[in-house]
Structure 1
Amino acid sequence: MTGNDAAPRVVVGVDGSPSSYAALRWAIRQAQLIGGTVDAVGAWETLVAYGWSAPMIAPDLDEGVARRKFDQELGEVLGAGQPVEVQRRLVPGNPADVLIDAARGAELLVVGSRGHGTFARALLGSVSERCAMHAPCPVVIVREG
């Protein structure tokens, strides 16, 4: 809790994967149990591709497109009427860094697990693994299903 009269916050990472939707549903149930609120946090990164002539920004990673997709996905998962307040935050940056930063002062950070194998994790790194190692609060990793 950040103050005496502030409700406890549960931060949840939402990235469009089925496991992140399961994490969002889990976070809402947990926030309801503790009388808290949910911060649904997404991250978007702009990737620059270099071609023959000049750098080009990947069009599907534009902030406006990312924001519309994020809002649409949350709307589909949340539906109408939630038992707790859900704040929506889409932040530019590396997903693990964004979530770790958002978790400052939170009761809990909830993330989904995409279930990548050991080899993929070694090559790419894992957002859930980085969050579990570096978050300033307890972390729950939710698998789809």
Structure 2
Amino acid sequence: MTRQPDGRIVVGVDGSPLSLAAVRWAARLAALTGGPLEAVTVWEFPRLLDEHGLVPPPLDGFGPERHAARILDETLAAALSPTPAVRRHLKAGAPGPALAGAAAGAAVLVLGSHGRAAPPGAALGTVAQYCVHHAACTVVVVR
């Protein structure tokens, strides 16, 4: 049995200019449909290697999660004025699977076509490409 979408509009946020455009697009869609808007930023633990192999980072006041929270807050503040009610989520893990998972059951997942690390001229970045192929909901790619 296929699950019906719950009406959520989920938007991936990485702080890039296309992420700002995706947030604006998602906010307009949420306003039109009345669906709740959820903004998701994904962060990964850095892979640290030394002569002994993998070295886990210290977890007290760990930086990448705080940095991701700052990116999420700054992007939402820059993209939306006044800021509507937005559920904010930070997810740890690989961006593509984390975003596709966050959008499970949602009506729409909105993404910028590529983030900061896309090769020049790429139509889709790796995260957008992953989500287009693996997300279980409609995916809107903003260029």
The question of a shared fold, defined as TM-score above 0.5 by the shorter chain, is answered with yes
5+ long unaligned stretches in structure 1 = 3-7
Aligned length: 133
User: SS where residue 62 of structure 1 aligns?
Assistant: helix
Q: 8 Å contact 1:46–1:61 — kept in the other structure?
A: no
**Cα deviation code 1:33-87 (max 9, x no counterpart):** 11111110110001122235773649995322322332233222223343xx311
Partners in 2 of 1:19 and 1:97 — Cα distance? Answer: 20
CA RMSD, 1 decimal: 2.8
Q: Which residue of 2 aligns with 1:5?
A: none
User: SS where residue 48 of structure 2 aligns?
Assistant: strand
Change beyond 3 A, Cα 1:14–1:35:
same
Partners in 2 of 1:78 and 1:38 — Cα distance? Answer: 12
Farther off after superposition, 48-57 or 96-105: 48-57
Spell out structure 1 runs of 4+ moving beyond 6 A: 118-121
Q: 8 Å contact 2:77–2:83 — kept in the other structure?
A: no
The answer to which structure has the higher helix fraction is: 1
Shift of 1:120: 7.3
Change beyond 3 A, Cα 1:32–1:120:
closer
Q: Which residue of 2 aligns with 1:46?
A: 45
Change beyond 3 A, Cα 1:120–1:80:
closer
Partners in 1 of 2:91 and 2:77 — Cα distance? Answer: 18
Letter in 2 for 1:42: T
Q: Which residue of 1 aligns with 2:111?
A: 111
Farther off after superposition, 89-98 or 68-77: 68-77
5+ long unaligned stretches in structure 2 = none
TM-score, normalised with respect to structure 1 = 0.77
Change beyond 3 A, Cα 1:131–1:64:
same
Identity of aligned residues (%): 42
